[in-house]
């Protein structure tokens, strides 16, 4: 019985993973020069207009909490775009039948899939130098994202993604 609870606990821990972030940046960039930000005006994010606004608000809020200011006369500009994808859950429960008596051995087994198809979002955030448009920092955040979330749940999901993306901004050298 203890093994069953351990097994179920491990499955729940594995399946509850939050957003994952991947970072890259220009090592020559002086990040202390970055104090003010703005967004590109022609962002083609792949998000709905409402979700685009939600994510911009979440990212702005997270940057302001770190001490950055939004300004038309900015040091860096922000672009972002999203891609949606689905993954089938590969977890299964195995069922087996067999015999072990005598010289004849045999067995039958099969797997029952757990869960189903999960929806994800991959959101790429790019910071570019406002003077020369050169990319100097990028984060890609992958997270579960059900397209049927309520507006409030979407706000919370985008805020979590923004916070995860900015965990490594500015990067420690």
Tell me the C-alpha to C-alpha distance, in Å, between residue 2 and each of 5, 6, 11, 49, 124. Answer: 5, 6, 14, 50, 43
Q: Please tell me the distance from the alpha carbon of residue 130 to that of residue 118, in angstroms, as a whole number.
A: 38
Assess if residue 91 is contained within a domain. no
Confirm whether 6 is domain-assigned. Answer: no
The pLDDT score that the predictor gives to residue 163 is 97
Contact yes or no for 111/94 (Cβ under 8 A): yes
pLDDT in tens, 22-42: 999 999 999 999 999 999 999
Number of structural domains, the chain?
1
Q: pLDDT category, 14, cuts 50, 70, 90?
A: very low
* Sequence-ordered list of residues with C-beta below 8 angstroms from that of 154, at least 6 positions apart, any chain: 51, 54
pLDDT at position 116 is 72
pTM: 0.76
Average pLDDT score over residue span 146-158: 94
Highest mean pLDDT among 11-15, 87-91, 126-130: 126-130
Note down the domain range covering 52: 32-85+111-173
Please state, in angstroms and rounded to a whole number, the distance separating the CA atoms of residues 128 and 75: 9
- Asked whether residue 65 is assigned to any structural domain, the reply reads yes
**Model confidence at 2: pLDDT above 50:** no
Q: Is residue 16 part of a domain?
A: no
Residue (of 96, 94, 98) closest to 111 by Cα position: 94
The token pair at 39 is 């967004």
What value does the mean pLDDT of the chain take? 85
Instruction: Give the separation between CA 130 and CA 36, rounded to whole angstroms.
Output: 10
Domain assignment of residue 157, yes or no: yes
Residue 2, in any domain of the structure = no
Residue 11 lies in a domain: no
Q: Minimal CA–CA distance to 121: which of 58, 40, 28, 41?
A: 58
Question: The CATH number of the domain where 138 resides is what?
Answer: 3.30.160.670
């Amino acid at each position: 019985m203890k093994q069953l609870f351990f097994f179920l606990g491990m499955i729940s821990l594995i399946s509850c993973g939050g957003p994952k972030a991947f970072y890259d940046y220009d090592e020559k960039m002086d990040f202390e020069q970055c104090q003010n930000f703005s967004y590109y005006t022609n962002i083609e994010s792949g998000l709905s207009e409402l979700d685009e606004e939600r994510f911009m608000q979440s990212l702005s809020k997270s940057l302001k909490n770190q001490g950055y200011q939004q300004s038309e006369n900015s040091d860096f500009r922000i672009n972002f775009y999203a891609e949606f994808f689905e993954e089938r859950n590969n977890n299964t429960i195995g069922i087996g039948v067999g015999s072990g008596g005598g010289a004849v051995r045999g067995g039958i087994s099969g797997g029952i899939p757990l869960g189903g198809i999960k929806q994800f979002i991959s959101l790429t955030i790019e910071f570019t130098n406002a003077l020369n448009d050169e990319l100097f920092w990028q984060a890609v955040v992958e997270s579960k994202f059900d397209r049927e979330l309520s507006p409030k749940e979407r706000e919370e999901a985008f805020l979590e993604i923004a916070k995860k993306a900015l965990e490594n901004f500015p990067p420690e050298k």
